[in-house]
Amino acid sequence: MPTYTLKINKKSVNVTADADTPLLWVLRDELNMVGTKFGCGISQCGACTVHADGTAIRSCQLQVSMAQDIEITTIEGLSEKGDHPLQQAWKEVDVPQCGYCQAGQIMTAASFLKDNPNPTEQEIREAMHGNLCRCASYNRIEKAVAIAAEKMS
C-alpha cells in the first residue's frame, strides 16, 4: 500500500492506505480523529463534513490519494480550545440531543459563515439544508448559526 503525506489541522501526517480509501476512514481508523462521523457513506447526510482548503466537503467521498495537496481541517482542528464562536453558540443554544451530526453541522456552518458573515435566516436555512439531523434540531441549529454570525462580526 502506498504512503500519503496529508496536511490535517495544520500538521503534516503520513498514512498508509489504499489509494481509493475515503478520507473519512483514514481520519477515524488511522489517525483516531473520531469527531468526523460516518453517517451514510454516499455524501447525503453531512455527518462526515470537513474542510478542504476552507470549503466544506464530505470526507466519505474524497479518496485519500486526492487529499495530498489539500489543507484538511476537522472538527478537532476548528479551534485549539474548542471555543470557536460556533462551538460556543452550540452550547449556548443547547443544540445537540444525540450529538451525532453536530461536528458535520458545525463544519458546514463554519465554511458558510466564512463566505457569508452576515447571513439572513433564509440563507442560513439554505446553507444548512444538506446536513441531516436525526433528532430534528434544525431550529436550534439555525439559531446557533445566527448567534455565531453575530459573535464573529
Q: pTM score, two decimals?
A: 0.96
Confidence of residue 111 (pLDDT cuts 50, 70, 90): very high
The CATH number assigned to the domain holding 42 equals 3.10.20.30
**CATH number of the domain residue 109 falls in:** 1.10.150.120
In the listed set 58, 77, 96, which residue is the last one of a domain according to the structure? 77
Rounded mean pLDDT of 58-62?
98
How would you classify residue 110: left for phi > 0, otherwise alpha for psi between -120 and 50, otherwise beta? Answer: alpha
Q: Are 92 and 72 found together in one domain?
A: no
Strand-pairing partners, residue 88, are none
pLDDT in tens, 10-22: 999 999 999 999 9
Determine the Cα–Cα distance for residues 149 and 134; give it in Å rounded to an integer. 24
What is the model's pLDDT at position 99? 87
Assess whether 72 and 90 both reside in one domain: no
How many domains does the structure of the chain reveal? 2
Element holding 145 (H helix, E strand): helix 138-152
Residue 65's Cβ-count burial label (10 Å; 0-12, 13-18, 19+) is middle
Where among 45, 77, 109 does a domain terminate? 77
- Tens digits of residue pLDDT in 3-57: 999 999 999 999 999 999 999 999 999 999 999 999 999 999 999 999 999 999 9
